Structure 1
Amino acid sequence: MTARPDASRNEAVIADLVRALGDKMVLAGAERPARNDSDWSTLGPQAPLAVVRPTTTEAVAAAMRICAAHGVPVVPQGGLTGLCGGARPLPGSVALSLERMTGIEAIDPASATMTVRAGTPLQVVQEAAEAAGFLVPLDLGARGSCAIGGNAATNAGGNRVIRYGMTREMILGLEVVLPGGDTITALNTMIKNNAGYDLKHLFIGSEGTLGIITRLVLRLFPKPACTMAALCALPDYESVVGLLTAARRGLGPMLSAFEVMWPDYWDVIAAMPGLRVPLAPGHAAYCLIEAQGTDETFDAPRFQAWLEAQAEAGLLSDAVLSRSVADVRAFWGVRDACSEFPHALGPHEPFDIGLPVAAMDAYVQACKAALAERLPGAFALFYGHVGDGNLHIVAGVKGAVPQPKDVIQEVVYGLVREFGGTVSAEHGIGLTKKPWLGHVRSEAEIALMRRLKAALDPDGVLNPGKVV
């Protein structure tokens, strides 16, 4: 039987990759790891032609040149913790995993920078900074698995955006391999550098569609001398907004996190075995406030005095103040209990949206009502980084297999458009949110995104079909 042209092409590209990189870097057939077939999205696995695992930027560039010459698409992969399908292989693609490109190359105390390879797990980056007396403030629940290059490619947000900004604000320089195999090495270590276009911003948040990030220069921040936290119960959402305003004014740059959980969320985590929930159910909202200071002698009493003033002002129904680092971790354990929702709730649809802070509770109530009307028996839990305008939603119908995904998305994203929000606050677009991008981006904006993609990747070989 005569081989089909695409089968011949596939064999040729794998042979060329093995010839250039060696069989240790190119895994195909039975040697191809199944873990590279998918990310953490709910799209299911898709086997690539091969998994390429380079150890150097030069090897990444060589792989891109070979795949581009054969017209074979390449899907970059980091820690595979993305929730939108951005790192999921496409049929007939090569998965290019950066999992072996790890390590801290340099820490410069004078410029307060770190140069790091893109496949390095975020937790390793955090620990290296801490050992040197600094802080990398980016923090996610997937810190042990996600890769710093993937964090940059998706412009990850996380828990402390209210103080430090998104990943974009933490990056000074990048090394990037372009779709044709050319490499841009712009490992800038200076905060002030206005020499022409700041090209790194093209690649940060582009989800691997414009280039493959191989090395990064990160800004380092002073390591906090103390961390204080409080879990608060509030009587209504108006009090939540009032508390956020008071925290910004009264705590100033000390304020590092402001997380809010609605009552349905609290009811679910309160029933989880082994989780200590220090506030009773039945309140309108629950808030986790974190502050980081430079001197515990002054900052801890200041935080306590500020919290007491909010109670006296009538903003709080109840509150628990941390007395130790263990307490702070325990409070975050309450907020991070959402990682157990797959076990506690069964199948469901997760969402990451952004909204004007003042409109969040109105959105929550409208969303709950619309889901109940469209899907009798539906559940919906709401929580998130409200200080940053970021709301997470977990919604579904108990026992439904499959979940009514299309209806849930129509409700959630339709209301996002109505309330002037965004369909993605921090997770990206990938494949799963691509159909909804037009809800929050104009035709002109999307057209410009496509022109940028065509300019940098005219043959469409790098992560095609994602984002736009």
Structure 2
Amino acid sequence: MSDLQQTLDHLRCALGDSGVVTGAAISQRHYSDWTGHAPACPAALLLPRNTQEVSAALRICNAAGQSVVPQGGMTGLAGGAVPRTSDIALSLERLRGIEEIDPASATISVLAGTPLQDIQQAAADAGFLFALDLGARGSCQIGGNIATNAGGNAVIRYGMTRDLVLGLEVVLADGRVLDLRNKMIKNNTGYDLKQCFIGSEGTLGIITRAVLKLAPQRGELTTALCALPDYPSAVAFLRRLQRSVGTPEAYELMWQDFFRLGVSWLENPTAPMADDYPLYVLFESAAASALLESTLEAAMEAGEVLDAILATSHTQARGLWKIREATGEFPLRMTPLNFDVSLPIGQIGEFAERCRARLEQQWPGNHSVYFGHIGDSNLHLTVDCHSLPQPAPILDIEELVYSEVGAMGGSVSAEHGIGLLKRDFLHHSVSAESQAVMQQLKDCFDPKGILNPGKLLGGTAA
């Protein structure tokens, strides 16, 4: 009997036959994430029903030195949940449900496999807001959101996922269960161990439960689209909004190339305003309309805003957002090479100009678009590989972009994680000394290296 077969037999004893799937019975959605990168059928798929079964599975795999790849909703964009044929995938999809809503502490306790949209709805039904919001809300799972420290449109107001987590339950590689659940904002009892697992991409432990912060429900939001003359005006206008009406719920900047593309893909491709402005910002605010209007007037007098539309209906607001949501069409209408980077806010405009110039110099006629949540330092850049010489020089483009990020003191990943796809570029943002300490942390929590090997820091299971 092979070592793998013996391990699978032990796993079936612990999880039951329905909890261990092999061969053709494994759905192809477990082969890769939304990137479609390096799809592979894992050696087995585990479907534990509770924390105890996750613990038992890891204890067995750790004893055998068997690598395990944790999987959530498979909506990642960095290859963080992609298995190899020698790996066992462990899906959290059966650990699903809302366990408690505590109105007094404004918290919600959930199982890690719960879809984000279910948490948002449960919070709304209880009169609260769970502020994390992503386009993949109906498919992504909260455990994966936490493991990748997901961002989204509302980060400028509410922070990253890290800022919304009060407590966790985590299973370590050897099967030990850490109960780090907590409902208090103030809890100064030594090392805050939960922070080790937020953003660790399943390399240090598997998250099975979470206690999350809730916020008061928002009032009626006003959506506005503004045209801007240049990047410094985008920053100045954001600061004006923050001083006059408070931090907006979203602040989405679109360069002209992205705006024109988004409009052209609308069902009725008519621009809501002229399409020849350098930049456009789409923002949402709960401030009174009169106050917003006076703030816009002041911004126009100062030359920060050239034109503006305040949506007067939900239908009009949705129409404006559809321009920004053109990113959902990227995989269907182009061969996208996507970048998710972070830079000091004041340098994002210069970075975009430098990247555009270097890309055009190296590959004349290439098509790239720029957009992002600049209020939280996040810029997205997408290059259409159809517009490049074939085969597309992907590694050369990645090195060009990430080296520019490093030169300007930025981060090669703002909100999508490192996974497989950014691992080889981590050095542009993280020093060798820091990476060595990260590896020491990995070795401490997972000395046999069985958890998500090859992701984030690299390495393989023993």
TM-score (norm 2): 0.96
**Count of residue correspondences:** 455
The Cα shift of 1:377 comes to 2.6
Counterpart for residue 128 of structure 1: 122
1:107 is matched with which residue: 101, 104, 109? 101
Post-superposition CA distance 1:210-240 (Å, at most 9, x none): 0100010000000012111211111122211
Match for residue 302 of structure 2 among 313, 316, 336? 313
1:435 matched residue in structure 2: 424
1:83 to 66, 77, 99: 77
Tell me whether 1:332 sits opposite 2:326 in the alignment.
Answer: no
**Hey, what does 2:437 align to over in structure 1?**
448
User: What is the distance in 1 between the residues matched to 2:390 and 2:97?
Assistant: 43
- What CA distance in whole angstroms lies between the structure 1 residues aligned with 2:203 and 2:182? 22
Instruction: Report whether the alignment pairs 1:288 with 2:277.
Output: no
Shift of 1:432: 0.7
What's the secondary structure of 2:246's corresponding residue? helix
- C-alpha distance in structure 1 between counterparts of 2:31 and 2:390, whole Å: 23
5+ long unaligned stretches in structure 1: 294-298
Deviations 1:241-270 (A, max 9, x none): 2111212211224x2211100011112112
Match of 1:28 among 22, 31, 54: 22
CA offset digits 1:175-229 (Å, max 9, x no partner): 0000111101121111111112111100001010001000100000000121112
Tell me the CA shift for residue 42 of structure 1. 4.1
Whether the 8 Å CA contact 1:227–1:328 is kept in 2: the answer is no
**2:367 is aligned with 1:379:** yes
Q: CA RMSD in A?
A: 1.4
Aligned to 1:197: 191
In 1: Cα distance, 2:376 partner to 2:441 partner: 28
Output the TM-score relative to the length of structure 1.
Answer: 0.94
Distance 1:272 1:29 in 2: 40
Question: 1:11 Cα deviation (Å)?
Answer: 1.2
The residue number in structure 2 matching 1:206 is 200
Aligned residue number for residue 414 of structure 2:
425
The letter for the 2-side match of 1:270 is V
AA in 2 matched with 1:391: L
Amino acid at match of 1:190: M
Match of residue 257, structure 2, among 250, 264, 270: 264
Percent of pairs identical after alignment?
49
Contact 1:377–1:397 (CA<8 Å) still a contact in 2? no
Report what 2:291 is aligned to.
302
Give the deviation of 1:408 after TM superposition.
Answer: 1.1
- The residue that corresponds to 2:344 in the other structure is 356
Contact 2:115 2:138 in 1 (8 A): yes
Q: 1:465 to 1:18 in 2, by over 3 A?
A: same
Instruction: Decide which of 401, 407, 410 is 2:399's aligned counterpart.
Output: 410
Q: Mark the CA change 1:402 to 1:57 in structure 2 (over 3 Å): closer, same or farther.
A: farther
Distance of aligned partners of 1:402 and 1:98 in 2 relative to their CA distance in 1, 3 Å threshold: farther
Residues 154-173 of structure 1 mapped to structure 2, 5 A cutoff = 154-173=148-167
Find the residue that maps to 1:398 and give its secondary structure.
helix
Return 5+ residue gaps in structure 2 as ranges.
Answer: 458-462
Distance 2:152 2:381 in 1: 15
What does residue 138 of structure 2 align with? 144
- Where 1:367 maps in the other structure, the secondary structure is helix
Structure 1 residues 397, 92: closer, same or farther in 2, change over 3 A?
A: closer
Query: Which residue identity is paired with 2:253?
Result: V
Secondary structure, counterpart of 2:283 in structure 1: strand
1:119 & 1:387 partners in 2: Cα distance?
30
1:296 is aligned to none
Letter in 1 for 2:401: V
Aligned to 1:393: 381
In 2, distance between residues paired with 1:354 and 1:272?
Answer: 27
- Name the counterpart of 1:73: 67
2:460 match: none
